Amino acid sequence: MNVERKFARLATDNAPGQEGRQTAGGLDGLLRGAPLPGRPVDFSHGDVDAHEPTPGASDQFAQGVAAGGRQAYTEYRGDGAIREQVAAHLADFTGVPVDADDGMIVTPGTQGALFLAVAATVGRGDKVAIVQPDYFANRKLVEFFEGEMIPVQLDYEAAGEDRAGLNLDQLEQAFRQGAKVFVFSNPNNPAGVVYSAGEIGQIAALAGRYGATVIVDQLYSRLRFGGVTYTHLRAGQIDPANVITIMGPSKTESLSGYRLGVAFGAPAIIARMEKLQAIVSLRAAGYCQAVLRTWFAEPEGWMDERIRRHQAIRDDLVATLRGIEGAFARAPQAGSYLFPRLPALAVPHADFVRILRIQAGVVVTPGTEFSPHSGDCIRLNFSQDHQAAVAAVARLATLVERYRA
Amino acid sequence: MNVERKFARLATDNAPGQEGRQTAGGLDGLLRGAPLPGRPVDFSHGDVDAHEPTPGASDQFAQGVAAGGRQAYTEYRGDGAIREQVAAHLADFTGVPVDADDGMIVTPGTQGALFLAVAATVGRGDKVAIVQPDYFANRKLVEFFEGEMIPVQLDYEAAGEDRAGLNLDQLEQAFRQGAKVFVFSNPNNPAGVVYSAGEIGQIAALAGRYGATVIVDQLYSRLRFGGVTYTHLRAGQIDPANVITIMGPSKTESLSGYRLGVAFGAPAIIARMEKLQAIVSLRAAGYCQAVLRTWFAEPEGWMDERIRRHQAIRDDLVATLRGIEGAFARAPQAGSYLFPRLPALAVPHADFVRILRIQAGVVVTPGTEFSPHSGDCIRLNFSQDHQAAVAAVARLATLVERYRA
């Protein structure tokens, strides 16, 4: 594939955060009624002003600057002492040891980790199993490296509250067809569902049977509601040489402005990831790496309070969404995404998303970014100011009625 | 090419800054004499403790943090207001306008810009003209994207002081053979030479004649010695749709710990670069972007003093190196790299580089990272503490005598 075609496929027009580059063109004939007043809410990402960064983050950064050259120029895989500290926390969190020296890399955000992990495992023509719906970059990365995506459905709507709803038969079929890599997020982005112990066990068993590598994005795995049970893939019956786990403090901890992530697991894959990082961006910003010292070291009770506040927002928004006739909203078990399905509308859902921005000051991400089968869904990151979010979703509900088919 | 082979080619064992991951294995039989005492100097990169970051950098960072969400979540191509400010400075510096909205992207370091620029222009099998010697990542990036490198020699040793020494016949031949992209650094890394107005004019003319895209890495173009004339490729007779210029404040300004770079030029290429950045690392760390407000806005006289101090170090080190019988050292006209050629030694030069680290506490980068024809050269970043650098190069000279063939 030539470079022009490769980039033509790599659309970012509807990517979260890029709405500012869109125009309002073509909607004039569609608009119904007056704009709805209210504080604008950008649900495309979390509001770090409403949920502030971890206490002490900027102090740690300042200490990084004060440390000078040794903090500015770390190994490409990140500062050794910081890796040691983070590895110990991640071992506690996931239940099995993490090798700070050879089994871990610090990256510019979890996005950086995901990019390197896919690049390190997927070559041209390689088959890769990808969940639908799932984080849009998974698919785009496979396409960029000219892999072949084999979709696996996640039927989170029909599944009970006790499982995410992965179609395990389809996953096995993907492996049978030759998929050598499986990439998925847990909790799922966008649906907010958590894979059950049974589902994780079967993913591990299938990966083992077919010798596949699994890349699991656990970015939101600390923000869990109502005592949901979370199972770490890497802690189960899976060959450690075939798992890469990705996490980072950008979301729950609101540290996105520092661009920090980590990948940990199979040393052979981590080694490749570091080789590539050396020509992609050298390293996560050296001074920023120092902020990882706050991670898993938050003040007593801080995380509980963060979870409590998010759960309260979730509950209010889910109630409003469920009040829309014909809409479906499964309550997320973890993370800060809601992925409601809207009823039939008189305008295409893609246009409704733009109308919502123009008429109600509400930015959401269209479902098609996550799955071709999610065209009538929208994703909302509900890590927002509570009252503003409630009011914004009320405006959304009003507009749904205005445009109902 | 499968993913294993692709990564096997992407060696980083001798990459600057990765020396900590090397072992001393295999040298025992080769070592002659006792270790040479002295303060260790790591010439693989600049010492930001000896030459401190731009005044006000950390204040701007703190203001970025205080700005909150809007600074944390910028457009993927970087914050709009910061782009405006930087674009104005870059237009002044290079002599022609810079389009802040469509013709510029902020990246995680100039490395990030280089990665995105090569990715956006080089597909599998595309021919790419690469200078020898030049920054090692140029070659590695072409290899990673499965392009075909066509080397063009830079004979900086034979060239007079008034030109860099690019073999323009070879460059034309590369274009005739189908090279669609030419990547080079000016000033050259590692040799520190500046391309003359005539050379730049001919590069522009050849690129125009053959419709090739030129990516020029001007990372060190502010740190110029002795009134050398610097010619900006983008300001000459070249189709603006075919030039990408890369710069950043990591080196001269010692801001590497913030990981900031910019690419500016052809909007169609910048658009691709942003699409890719969206899946590589999203954006340069949002809070770090604020530090770009210090760039080209340094206190009166600050840059002059920085240049003066580097020129003084350069002069002392060149004198010492020229005192080694059989060595060759062209005085760099810009930047902070020295690339001396050493005389014949009794051990392979690759081993000598390791011996130098073990016996003298002097870290340098082997010439083979920059060209297969530079095996007897070493690169030193002389942005160091003046006295420590002078003493370290004296130890280097002592070891050359000890191991002389």
At residue B26, the pLDDT reads: 75
Residues 6 or more apart from B64 whose CB is under 8 A from it? A257, B71, B286, B287, B288, B289, B290, B291
Amino acid at site A51: H
Domain termination site, one of A245, A277, A294 = A294
Taking CA–CA distances from B283, the nearest residue in chain A reads A259
Whether A117 has its CB under 8 Å from any CB of chain B: the answer is no
Domain termination site, one of A275, A294, A313 = A294
Q: Single out the residue of B279, B305, B294, B380 nearest to residue B336, CA to CA.
A: B380
- Local structure of residue A341 (DSSP, 8 states): B
Is B349 in contact with B370 (CB distance < 8 Å)? no
Question: Which residues in chain B (17-36) have CB-CB distances under 8 A to chain A?
Answer: 17-18, 20-21
Question: Which residues in chain B (318-377) have CB-CB distances under 8 A to chain A?
Answer: none
Report the domain count for chain A.
Answer: 2
Instruction: Write out pLDDT tens, residues A128-139.
Output: 999 999 999 999
State the smallest CA–CA distance between residue A33 and chain B in angstroms.
30
My answer on whether A98 and A241 are in the same domain is yes
Opening angle at CA B329, ends B324 and B331, nearest 5? 135
What are the structure tokens assigned to A372, written together?
């071709």
Taking CA–CA distances from A59, the nearest residue in chain B reads B62
Whether B285 has its CB under 8 Å from any CB of chain A: the answer is yes
Instruction: Give me the mean pLDDT over the B119-131 stretch.
Output: 97
My answer on whether A225 and A245 are in the same domain is yes
Instruction: Write out pLDDT tens, residues B377-394.
Output: 999 999 999 999 999 999
> A-B interface: how many C-beta pairs under 8 angstroms?
196
At residue A22, the pLDDT reads: 65
My answer on whether A111 and A192 are in the same domain is yes
My answer on whether A135 and A281 are in the same domain is yes
My answer on whether B34 and B81 are in the same domain is no
User: Is B108 close to A6, i.e. CB distance below 8 A?
Assistant: no
My answer on whether B189 and B270 are in the same domain is yes
**Overall pTM > 0.90:** yes
Range of the domain at B89: 57-294
Amino acid at site B52: E
- Minimum mean pLDDT range among A9-18, A131-140, A153-162, B48-57: A9-18
Instruction: Write out pLDDT tens, residues A306-362.
Output: 999 999 999 999 999 999 999 999 999 999 999 999 999 999 999 999 999 999 999
pLDDT band at residue B273 using 50, 70 and 90 as cut-offs: very high
Chain A residues near residue B67 by CB distance under 8 angstroms: none
Beta-bridge partners for A149: A128
User: Is A20 close to B109, i.e. CB distance below 8 A?
Assistant: no
At residue B29, the pLDDT reads: 82
My answer on whether B29 and B96 are in the same domain is no
Whether B120 has its CB under 8 Å from any CB of chain A: the answer is yes
Of A1, A3, A275, Cβ closest to residue B122: A3
User: Is A48 close to B68, i.e. CB distance below 8 A?
Assistant: yes
Q: What is the DSSP string of B80-132?
A: HHHHHHHHHHHHHHHSS---TTTSEEEESHHHHHHHHHHHHH--TT-EEEEEE
ipTM of the assembly? 0.96
Whether B72 has its CB under 8 Å from any CB of chain A: the answer is yes
Taking CA–CA distances from A139, the nearest residue in chain B reads B279
At residue B6, the pLDDT reads: 86
pLDDT band at residue B3 using 50, 70 and 90 as cut-offs: confident
- Residue found under tokens 């409003």: A320
My answer on whether A325 and A236 are in the same domain is no
Taking CA–CA distances from B138, the nearest residue in chain A reads A279
Which value, in Å, is the radius of gyration of the alpha carbons in chain B? 21
Whether A140 has its CB under 8 Å from any CB of chain B: the answer is yes
Residue A25 confidence (pLDDT) above 80: no
Domain termination site, one of B231, B263, B294 = B294
At residue A400, the pLDDT reads: 98
Residues 6 or more apart from B18 whose CB is under 8 A from it? A75, A76, A278, B12
My answer on whether B85 and B202 are in the same domain is yes
At residue B24, the pLDDT reads: 62
Taking CA–CA distances from A273, the nearest residue in chain B reads B7
Whether A43 has its CB under 8 Å from any CB of chain B: the answer is no
Instruction: Write out pLDDT tens, residues B323-378.
Output: 999 999 999 999 999 999 999 999 999 999 999 999 999 999 999 999 999 999 99
Of B6, B80, B281, Cβ closest to residue A259: B281
Of A75, A123, A285, Cβ closest to residue B285: A285
Taking CA–CA distances from B20, the nearest residue in chain A reads A75
My answer on whether A8 and A89 are in the same domain is no
Residue B99's domain is classified under what CATH number? 3.40.640.10
Report chain B's mean pLDDT, rounded to a whole number. 96
Chain B residues near residue A21 by CB distance under 8 angstroms: 75
My answer on whether A194 and A340 are in the same domain is no
Is B181 in contact with B148 (CB distance < 8 Å)? no
User: Is A276 close to B122, i.e. CB distance below 8 A?
Assistant: no
My answer on whether B48 and B184 are in the same domain is no
Residue B10's domain is classified under what CATH number? 3.90.1150.10
**Percentage of residues of chain A with pLDDT beyond 70:** 97
